[in-house]
Structure 1
Amino acid sequence: MVMAMILFNYKAYPEAIGKGALRLSRYLDEIGEEFGVKISVSPQYLDIPTIIRETRNLEVFSQHVDPVKGAYTGSVSPLSLKEAGVSGSLLNHSERKLKISSIKEGVLTLKDLGLTSIVCAEDELIASMISKLSPDFIAVEPPELIGTGISVSKAKPELLERTLQLKEFKIRILCGAGISSGEDVERAMEIGMDGVLVSSSFVKSKNPKEKALELIEAYSKFI
């Protein structure tokens, strides 16, 4: 399992689907190799096999997983994700929220399959509850900042500082929401985060390769 992470979440942005997803992933793959750091991406499900096949340096994560097997039409099978070659999955993103019981099942299922769990939490109280489920990572993302360009590391540094106590449970802490610049990344890492989640600032950038370079260069200073 990786010990620190910068994860680029493609969500369902048109710019990051199909050929666009592969183009963005190749940028990240190239820049990650240049700086000698592992880069993680979370693309649409149908793009996962292509990205795994066509890149060398990327860890690929699912955006969601359903901890089920058998007669569950429309569900995202954890076993199918493992067979596709993913490293793990996000759970409980604010755009795909889950009940605590489903989070628990998801974490356990991923662990049984040898996959990494990244569970999102909107604040330190939710993060504390989730910590009892022993995920590999907790990603603190205040939903009101997602997509705003106002970074959590600038707007709510005290929130991030309060979550650091969860490290005593051997859980690694990430942050996301509004991470838009190298400075945002550096502030998060200086506070003590184990990494960051990035989305629209990269995917929707007029020059995504340049933006990726800025973000990854900042991250690499702490790895």
Structure 2
Amino acid sequence: MRIPIIAGNWKMHKTASEAVQFVERIKEQVKGTDVEVVLCTPYTLLYPVKEAIKGTNIKLSAQNMHWEDQGAYTGEVSPLMLKELGVEYCIIGHSERRLYFNETDETVNKKVHAALKHNIKPIICVGETLEQRESGQTNTLVKNQVVKAFEGVPGDRVAEIVIAYEPIWAIGTGKTATSEQANEAIYNIREVIRELYGEEVYTEIRIQYGGSVKPDNIEEIMNQEDIDGALVGGASLKPDDYVALVNF
């Protein structure tokens, strides 16, 4: 059975004191949920959040990482560093990383392998622009992103990976794919995993939806057959909203 996962991507928001206050506000309200609760914080917040979530069911995620363990990569953070901090998940290939920081399908694949090497669970982001959707390229583009991200990944590690389908046109725009559109895209992603790895693995992998997810649309999204969770941006910044998402 696939456990739903609600991951809050804080992007470049919150100071250390604000992050700790957030955890204090939500920790009792998300206790005992059947949903996996994940906070994806900036690097500077990983340690204070790690300390704040001790003894809770909240899990820690980074938003990015380098694929090398160490080296002359000024400003980068390695999976080795993240692992020592207790990071369990890492977002890889978010559209903002692809758009602003020249992430490619090839670097995404390198990071996936590095994460798995250190037993960090990758949250791999895939998705299309509005222009690509309107020209009918969604399925082909997303399939290519998935195939390249999983290149060389053995079948026995696939269940550790989460895929986040994030249509770029719905991120931070207030626009949301309809629940049917999201489910169709995620169904197609699951079919790609079936083609690559077969029946058993295909049923195990969790696939989230991301893109202007809010408390007022989370229930409809999560009621879709193939959607296993959400990667949430803006709505994860407010404690009450995030609790409402987790307790959908």
TM over 0.5, shorter chain: yes
Pair 1:201–1:104, CA change in 2 (3 A)? same
2:72 corresponds in structure 1 to: 71
Counterpart of 2:242 (choices 197, 212, 215) is 212
CA distance in 2: counterparts of 1:17 and 1:152, whole angstroms: 31
CA distance in 2: counterparts of 1:125 and 1:65, whole angstroms: 27
Report the Cα offset of residue 83 of structure 1: 0.8
Gaps of 5+ in 2: 129-138
1:8 aligns with 2:13: no
1:60 aligns with 2:85: no
Counterpart of 2:146 (choices 131, 135, 157) is 131
Contact 2:179 2:220 in 1 (8 A): no
Pair 1:113–1:191, CA change in 2 (3 A)? same
Tell me the alpha carbon deviations over residues 33-58 of structure 1, each in whole angstroms, 9 at most, x when there is no partner.
05353310101111111111111221
Matched to 1:209, the amino acid is: P
CA distance in 2: counterparts of 1:24 and 1:96, whole angstroms: 25
Contact 2:221 2:227 in 1 (8 A): no
1:162 aligns with 2:183: no
Name which of structure 1's ranges 101-110 and 189-198 shifts more when overlaid on structure 2.
Answer: 189-198
Gaps of 5+ in 1: 219-223
CA distance in 1: counterparts of 2:241 and 2:3, whole angstroms: 24
Name which of structure 1's ranges 105-114 and 49-58 shifts more when overlaid on structure 2.
Answer: 49-58
Counterpart of 2:211 (choices 171, 177, 189) is 177
Question: How many residue pairs align between the two structures?
Answer: 211
TM-score by length of 1: 0.84
SS of structure 2 residue aligned to 1:80: helix
Report which of the two structures shows the higher radius of gyration computed on alpha carbons: 2
CA RMSD of aligned residues (A): 2.2
CA distance in 2: counterparts of 1:59 and 1:127, whole angstroms: 28
CA distance in 1: counterparts of 2:36 and 2:124, whole angstroms: 20
